[in-house]
Structure 1
Amino acid sequence: MIAVMPLMVIPYILYNMTIAGLMGGGGIPALQHDIIVLSMISGAIWSMALGDLFIVVALVILFVEILKATSNGSGSLINHMLSMLVFIAFLVEFLLVQDAATQVFFILMTIALIDVIGGFAVSIRSAGRDVSIGL
C-alpha cells in the first residue's frame, strides 16, 4: 500500500512545514538561508539554499515516480489518481495561500505536474505494448 502513495507529497509537506515555521525556520525567509556553502577549486563560493534543496529533492523524487510508472501493478492507477490530487493541492495552495506564491513552490508545482503527465504517458505507452492481438 505504501508503494501506491505518490512521493511528491514529501516536498509538499516539507515546504508547508517550513513556511509554517515547524522546521526551525521563520517561514518564507527560511527558504533563502544557505544550508550548503562550498569553496570551489576555482576560488568561487557555491551555496545552496533550503528552497534549492527542496527542488533537488523533488527532482530525485520525480525520477523515482517515473520509474514507478513503468510498472503495471494493480496500484498504478491509484498512484496516478493520488498524484493528480497532489498536483491539485499544489495548484490550489499556489493560487490561494500568500506564502505559497514563491518561485520555489511554483517549481515544485511544475514538477508535480510533470509527474502526473509523465506517469500517465509512461503507463499508456507501456500498456500499449502489453496488448497483443492474436489472429
Structure 2
Amino acid sequence: MFGAIPLLIVPFVLYNLGLLGLFGGGDDPWAIEIFSFRMMSGGVFSMTLGDLMVLIGLVFLFIEISKSVRTTNASILDHLLSTLVFIAFLVEFLLVKGAAHSVFFTLMIIALFDVLAGFSVSMRSASRDINLN
C-alpha cells in the first residue's frame, strides 16, 4: 500500500515548509547558497536550495517512472494519487503568492511529467495485454 504513495509529495511538502521559513528567512529562501567550490577550469560551481529542490524532484521522478512500469492493483491508485499531487501543485501555483516561483513551477512540471508518463506507460502496457485476432 505504501508503494502507491507518490514520492513527489516530498518536494511539495519541503517547498511549503520553506515558505513557512523553515530553511531561512528573507524574500527568497530558494536563492540561499548551500555550497560552492572551485572547479579545475577556474569556474565556481555553486548549488542553491532551489537547485537542490529541483534535483530532489528529478530523483523522485525517476523512481516514480520506475514504479509506473509495474502492473498491479496499486498502480491505479498510484496514478490517481499522482494526479492529485499535480492538481495540488497547480492549485497552489495559481492561488498562493509564495508559489509563484520558478523552482515551484519546475517541480509542478515534474509532477505533470510523472502523471503523463504513468498514464502513457499504463496505456502502452495495457495495449500489449489485449490480443485481437
Into which bin does the TM-score normalised by the smaller protein fall? over 0.9
Q: In 1, distance between residues paired with 2:2 and 2:56?
A: 19
Instruction: Name the structure 2 match of 1:42.
Output: 41
Q: Return structure 1 stretches of 4+ with deviation > 4 angstroms.
A: none
Which amino acid counterpart does residue 9 of structure 1 have in structure 2? I
Which amino acid counterpart does residue 63 of structure 2 have in structure 1? V
Offset at 1:22? 2.3
Instruction: Name the structure 1 match of 2:9.
Output: 9
Instruction: Name the structure 2 match of 1:111.
Output: 110
User: What 5-or-longer segments of structure 2 have no aligned partner?
Assistant: none
Q: Deviations over 1:90-129 (max 9, x none)?
A: 0000000000000000000000001001100011111212
3-state SS, counterpart of residue 7 of structure 1: coil
**1:60-71 counterparts in 2 under 5 A?**
60-71=59-70
Which amino acid counterpart does residue 14 of structure 1 have in structure 2? L
Q: Deviations over 1:17-64 (max 9, x none)?
A: 0111123x1165221011121210011111010011110110111111
Change (3 A) 1:30 1:7: same
Q: TM-score, normalised by structure 1?
A: 0.93
Q: In 1, distance between residues paired with 2:93 and 2:80?
A: 20
Instruction: Name the structure 2 match of 1:20.
Output: 20
| Identity over aligned pairs, percent | 50
Q: In 2, distance between residues paired with 1:33 and 1:97?
A: 21
3-state SS, counterpart of residue 47 of structure 1: strand
3-state SS, counterpart of residue 88 of structure 1: helix
Which amino acid counterpart does residue 130 of structure 1 have in structure 2? D
Q: In 1, distance between residues paired with 2:130 and 2:59?
A: 31
Q: Deviations over 1:68-88 (max 9, x none)?
A: 000001100000000000000
Q: In 1, distance between residues paired with 2:26 and 2:68?
A: 34
Q: TM-score, normalised by structure 2?
A: 0.95
Instruction: Name the structure 2 match of 1:83.
Output: 82
May I ask how many residue pairs the two structures share in their alignment?
A: 133
What RMSD over aligned residues (CA atoms) do the two structures have, in Å? Answer: 1.2
